[in-house]
């Protein structure tokens, strides 16, 4: 479990995997669920991409990730 203080919002979040791993993967620059799956070693793993997409939406709701379409 990871505890994270998010300076721009002043909010503290408790993160369970894969949330911290997704945030770490985004260090290398913006990416969609498929690209993040690749960066986490789950290339071409559709199920993993779906899970990551769901977690991305959750991270966006909490403000830790901004989704630009």
Partner 1 sequence: MRPALLLASVLADPQRALSLAGEDWQALLTVARAELLLGSLAHRLDGLALPPAVVAILADARVSATHGRTQALWEAEMARRALAPLGVPVVVLKGTAFVAAGLSAGVGRSIGDLDILVPRTALNVVEHALIDAGWEWVKPDPYDHLYYRRWMHELPPLTHPERDRMIDVHHTILPPTARPTPDAAALIADALPLGNGLAVLSPADMIVHAAAHLFADGDLAGGMRNLWDIDRLLREFADHPDFAETLRARATRHNLCAATARAIRLARRLYETPVDQTWAGRSQVTDGLYLRRLTARDGWGRERRPASRFAFYVRSHWIRMPPLLLARHLWTKARR
Partner 2 sequence: MRHGFAVRVGPVGFRIGSEWQAPVAALARLYEGYPAPPDGVADFTVRLEAARPWRRWARPAITIRGDFTLPDTAPLPLAQGLLAAEMGMNLQMALGARRWLLLHASCVERDGRALLMSGHSGAGKSTLSALLGERGWRLLGDEFALLDPATGLVHPFPRPVSLKNESIAVMAADISHERFGPLIAGTPKGDIRHLRPAADAIARMAEPARPALLLFPQFGQTEDLRPVGPVESFVRLTQASTNYVALGETGYAALTALAQGIPAIGVDYPDTASALRLVEALWAEAPR
Partner 3 sequence: MNGMADQQGGDGPHGHDAADAPAGFAPTRRRLMLGAAAASTVVTIRPALASTAGSVMNCQVPVPDPKLGAGKWIDGQGRVVDAGSPNAFRPPYRPLKAEEIRRAMQGANFPGADYEQSRAYMAYIRKLQNGMSGFTCYQSLQMPRP
Tell me which residues touch partner 3 (CB under 8 A). Answer: 1-8, 11-21, 23-24, 26-27, 40-42, 47-48, 51-52, 54-55, 58-59, 61-62, 64-66
Helix residue spans in the chain (DSSP H): 19-25, 33-39, 46-61
Residue 3 within binding range of partner 2, rule CB under 8 A: yes
Q: How many of the chain's residues bind partner 1 (CB under 8 A)?
A: 12
Residue 14 within binding range of partner 1, rule CB under 8 A: no
Residue 5 within binding range of partner 1, rule CB under 8 A: no
Query: Which are the contacts of 22, defined by CB distance < 8 A and separation ≥ 6?
Result: 36, 40, 52, 55, 56, 59, 65
């Amino acid at each position: 479990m990871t505890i994270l203080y998010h300076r721009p919002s002043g909010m503290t979040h408790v993160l369970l995997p894969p949330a911290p791993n997704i945030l770490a993967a985004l260090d290398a620059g913006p990416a969609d669920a498929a690209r993040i799956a690749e960066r986490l070693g789950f290339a071409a793993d559709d199920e993993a991409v779906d899970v990551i997409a769901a977690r991305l939406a959750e991270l966006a709701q909490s403000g830790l990730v901004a989704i630009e379409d």
